[in-house]
Amino acid sequence: MKAVVIYESLTGTTAKAGEMIAEELTRYGVEAVACSITEVNLPALSAAELVVVGSWTDGLVFAGQKPGRDWRLRKMPVIDGKLAAVYCTYAVKHGKTLPKLERIVRMRGGDTIGGYAIHRKKMEAGVTEFVGRILSALDKQTADAA
Ligand SMILES: Cc1cc2nc3c(=O)[nH]c(=O)nc-3n(C[C@H](O)[C@H](O)[C@H](O)COP(=O)(O)O)c2cc1C
């Protein structure tokens, strides 16, 4: 399976997480590359069966959280028929960032299989957990389809 990780990042944390997610997926046999929402790797996206979309958390720290610069994400290329997973990075509280991001991805045609919030100071553990969940969801999909 091939995958692409598309991230929206203001100060680099979500980009770093995206690169780590792509590496971890590749380590487990899902050939993945990461790219910014401002420079989507279109050949990789067209070849991908799985699209991972990430954003940073924007809010008033304790309230009103949403995906950062969500207008960029709303304009991402259509991904009809592809599986999708979402993640956000955050500092204190992610609130409804993940369901909001999932909604955007579904509106672009993605078939969402889950999401995970990664604390910016616990990136390695967060990436390991998220990729583990993605791989389990993919296994379940394959088992259900058999
Ligand atoms: C304007 C602004 C608002 C933020 N609001 C929140 C928030 O409400 N809750 C939170 O946990 N983190 C918040 N953060 C922190 C970022 O979401 C967090 O540091 C993230 O990992 C940054 O990712 P990036 O480096 O990819 O931009 C905010 C950051 C900025 C710049």
- Of ligand 1's listed atoms, the one at least distance from the Cα of 60 is 8
CA of 20 to the centre of ligand 1 (A): 19
pLDDT tens for the chain, residues 1 to 146: 999 999 999 999 999 999 999 999 999 999 999 999 999 999 999 999 999 999 999 999 888 999 999 999 999 999 999 999 999 999 999 999 999 999 999 999 999 999 999 999 999 999 999 999 999 999 988 888 88
- The set of residues, in sequence order, having a beta carbon less than 8 Å from that of 45 and lying 6+ positions away, is 4, 6, 51, 77, 79
Nearest by Cα to 105 from 144, 130, 79: 79
Compute how many other C-beta atoms are within 10 angstroms of the C-beta atom of residue 140.
11
- Of ligand 1's listed atoms, the one at least distance from the Cα of 61 is 8
Domain 2-145: top CATH class: alpha beta
CA of 57 to the centre of ligand 1 (A): 5
Compute how many other C-beta atoms are within 10 angstroms of the C-beta atom of residue 63.
8
User: What are the structural domain ranges in the chain?
Assistant: 2-145
Query: In this predicted structure, what is the pLDDT of residue 146?
Result: 83
CA of 58 to the centre of ligand 1 (A): 5
